[in-house]
Structure 1
Amino acid sequence: MLLQLGTAALAVICCLSSSADARPTVRLPDPRGEFVRQCTPHMLGRWAHPEAVCSCLHDHAAAVVEDADLREALLRGISETGVPTIETNWVPATKQAEIGPTFTKIAKPALQCMFDPAQ
């Protein structure tokens, strides 16, 4: 009886694992790739390599801006306008005073991205 129960359990486990392997893996969207896709049209005509500028801006914003709300607002502004922008209503009221210092942090890297994105 115990042997039959063990065999049945093993069969169920094998079936479950094989059906799990057969399911297609769910691919989550790449946030960086989506950012570049949205940002690039705003850079066309302004820069020789718009994808490189957008990638560079994304990477520097992600590295320099520690606060998640400010970083998300900055990335939203860049992807929607092509320039570092933060609307005050995009960040909580308690963090709105940090918008200016955030631009100070990102100013030099942003200029570097726009004029020498390979760096």
Structure 2
Amino acid sequence: MTRPRDQRWATLRQSLATVAVLVGLGASAADARPTAPLPDLRSDFVRQCAPHMVGRWAHPEAVCSCLHDHAIVMVEDADLREALLRGISENGVPTIETQWVPPSKLAEIGPTFSKIAKPTLQCMFAPAD
């Protein structure tokens, strides 16, 4: 015969085990949910850039993709890279407005254009097959 105290402990252990299983199931179900999709920055850039390239190039999306993948990656500084992305997506040509970069980096604008000149010209005039 089981004593009331033993029954209470057995019931408590069973309840705790049930709670632990439910918590475990809830955590695994939360992990299985799809995460919110992250914005595709490359596609957004091409979408903004391509309308500026229409009429200039036969394949504007290809030019914009090439600029994103080959010219812009040459720019290591995040502020200058963001300014360059903005310039291309707003104007369709590599542009950096001085107000888009911190004053301490204004002197780096010229060298940045020198760095991206060759890949930019290749994207626009001799795209890789």
TM-score, normalized by the shorter chain, greater than 0.5: yes
Matching residue within 92, 99, 103 for 1:93: 103
- Structure (1 or 2) with the larger CA radius of gyration: 2
- TM-score, normalization by structure 1: 0.90
Instruction: State the aligned residue count.
Output: 118
Q: Deviations over 1:52-111 (max 9, x none)?
A: 100111112332111010011011101110100000000000001000000000111101
What are the residue-to-residue correspondences of 1:98-109 with 2, within 5 Å? 98-109=108-119
Between the aligned partners of 1:103 and 1:70, the Cα distance in structure 2 is 10
Instruction: Give 1:116 deviation, angstroms.
Output: 1.9
- Between the aligned partners of 1:13 and 1:91, the Cα distance in structure 2 is 49
DSSP 3-state at the match of 2:99: helix
**Higher relative contact order structure (alpha carbons within 8 Å, sequence separation ≥ 6):** 1
Written as runs of structure 1 = structure 2, the 5 A alignment for 1:26-105 is 26-105=36-115
Note the C-alpha offset of 1:45.
Answer: 0.8
**1:19: how far off?**
4.8
Deviation at 1:11, TM superposition (A): 1.4
Partner of 1:14: 25
Q: Is residue 61–residue 75 contact of structure 1 (8 Å, CA) maintained in 2?
A: no
Structure 2 residue runs without a partner (length 5+)? 1-11
Give the distance between the partners of 1:39 and 1:117, measured in 2 at CA.
17
Gaps of 5+ in 1: none
Q: Given the two structures, how large is their TM-score scaled by the length of structure 2?
A: 0.84
Identity %: 70
